[in-house]
Amino acid sequence: MDERRVNIIAAISVITLIILIVVARVTLKLSKAFFLIFGAGVAVILAVFAYVLVSISYNRRRRLLESQFKSESQELRIEYSFLRKVAGVPMKFRYKELEEATDGFQALIGKGASASVFKGILNDGTSVAVKRIDAEERGEKEFRSEVAAIASVHHVNLVRLLGYCNAPTAPRYLVYEYVSNGSLDWWIFSKRVSQRRRGGCLSWNLRYNVAIDVAKGLAYLHHDCRSRILHLDVKPENILLDENFRALVSDFGLAKLIGKEESHKEVSAIRGTRGYLAPEWLLEKGISDKTDIYSYGMVLLEIVGGRKNVCSVEIDERANKSKRKWQYFPKIVNEKVREGKLMEIVDPRLLECGGVVDETQVRTLVYVALWCVQEKPRLRPSMPQVVDMLEGRVRVEMPPDTRMVVVDFLCVDEESATDSNSMPRLDFVSNQRTQSNVESSSTYSFATTIMSGR
């Protein structure tokens, strides 16, 4: 019984007995009946007081033991949490914990086609990035198995998975360490810097270091894990920069896992981002580590040029008329390399601000990038070979001239896009945010027809 209720009942009982004794004294005088009632009443009152004292003592001891148990339990939880962090084992969070950490999921720091990322602070003061996966792409069992696989991944150039929050249905949550300087796209592309996100123009030396960091992270995923992990969405938005501008590859937690003995893997659906998809994936020939290498090559070109690999530009044709045309940056880079105009590829902002740009390093990055975007997967280097080339242990030869068949598919101008036969092409390269994933089967069947016809 509640202590307060016990005290109230005891007080009412004592008052009632006292009133009964007073009434008996008035009505019965000093008769034998009065003394019997008086004695019984006093005995009951003493018993009530004794019960109250014992109850108070018991409740105080119980509260003390509960407080000690709670304190020890909290210390054990903190110790357990510390040991899990040291061991790198992701924690299972409750939804309420993540809701409180993110202040009701208010601090949005990124949004994709099927997921949103929120900044949060855990009870121990750790800053985290909470990724909410809205799409129902995997079952609970598959989600757990892939989280367990990623939990064993530890590399200085990979974002660390701190925990997860699972549910039978979407949304599910992944909790990553928070990286202060945001994603690479805000540091290499010309964008307005907002109060919510930092950005600017990354210096050449830092860009070159970022290229090496990303290559090391992907090399670890491809070759140094028990199960080979394919990222399948390598792009600047998924490359984060910490306070020292060290690059960390992120968003690899739910990528494809393939065995060491498998050379490639068949997939039923095509996932990825416009402009970074390898030709063999579009042609439904399966995926491999060379698929990530193609995407990495595209990112290298964007790091050097400071521009998207597919973009729309305005072209003046006559005095009062202009039109827009889609440009494919890798094709421009390939042409400039053949013409010997290598420095014309470099982000003009680097040259305008008087920064030092090492032409030898530019040549290395561009050559490696063109090797990585070769249309035949067997011609592309492995990621450990890429690391060796970028760090100067292996000489980088001039890459072969690639036909870039995909150029004919991507480079359409605004006038041709108005034709009904060209609409699928325009849909593929529409000027949307790069986070949007490619899911249209009709677009891919059209791409397959175009590419196969060459």
Contacts of 290 (CB under 8 A, 6+ apart): 278, 280, 377, 378, 380
Q: Residue 151: what pLDDT?
A: 74
- Domain span at residue 17 reads 3-66
Do the domain assignments include residue 83?
Answer: no
Which amino acid, 174? L
Q: Which of the residues in the chain have pLDDT under 50?
A: 193-195, 412-454
Q: Measured between alpha carbons, how far is 309 from 291 in angstroms, rounded to an integer? A: 17
Q: Please, what is the Cα angle at 148 between 142 and 152, to 5 degrees?
A: 145
Q: Is 134 a catalytic residue?
A: no
CA distance 164 to 42: 64
User: Which of 128, 154, 178 is the endpoint of a domain?
Assistant: 178
Ligand-binding annotation for 111, yes or no, is no
Model pLDDT, residue 341: 93
53-100: pLDDT as tens digits? 888 888 888 888 888 887 777 776 666 666 656 556 778 888 899 999
Residue 74 lies in a domain: no
Q: Tell me the β-bridge partners of 248.
A: 240
Supply the CATH number for residue 200's domain: 1.10.510.10
Tell me whether residue 77 is in a domain. Answer: no
Q: Are residues 275 and 171 in the same domain?
A: no
Given 109, 144, 178, the domain boundary residue is 178
Residue 75 domain flag = no
Q: What is the pLDDT of residue 209?
A: 97
Give the pLDDT score at 387: 97
C-alpha 435/C-alpha 110 separation (Å) is 10
- 274 shares a domain with 136: no
HEC profile of 36-96: HHHHHHHHHHHHHHHHHHHHHHHHHHHHHHHHHHHHHHHHHHHHHHHHHHHHCCCEECCHH
Measured between alpha carbons, how far is 70 from 134 in angstroms, rounded to an integer? 36
Q: Pick the catalytic residue: 134, 185, 213, 233?
A: 233
In a domain, residue 351? The reply is yes
Asked if 277 and 391 sit in the same domain, the reply is: yes
The residue among 130, 158, 178 that closes a domain is 178
Please check whether residues 263 and 370 belong to one and the same domain: yes
172 and 205 share one domain: no
In this structure, the answer to whether residues 61 and 140 fall within a common structural domain is: no
For residue 37, being part of any structural domain is answered with: yes
Q: What is the CATH number of the domain that holds 148?
A: 3.30.200.20
247-249 and 161-165 strand pairing: unpaired
Same-domain check for residues 251 and 387: yes
Residue 145 lies in a domain: yes
Q: 225 and 322: one domain?
A: yes
Over residues 383-408, the pLDDT tens digits come to 999 999 999 999 999 999 877 776 55
Regarding whether 101 and 53 lie in a shared domain, the answer is: no
Provide the pLDDT for residue 264: 62
Residue 81 falls inside a structural domain: no
Tell me, yes or no, whether 188 and 41 share the same domain.
no
Domain shared by 307 and 167, yes or no: no
Largest CA distance in the chain: 129
Give the total number of structural domains in the chain: 3
| Sign of the dihedral defined by the CA atoms of residues 145, 151, 154, 155, in that order | positive
The pLDDT of residue 439 is 38
Domain check: are 301 and 374 in the same one?
A: yes
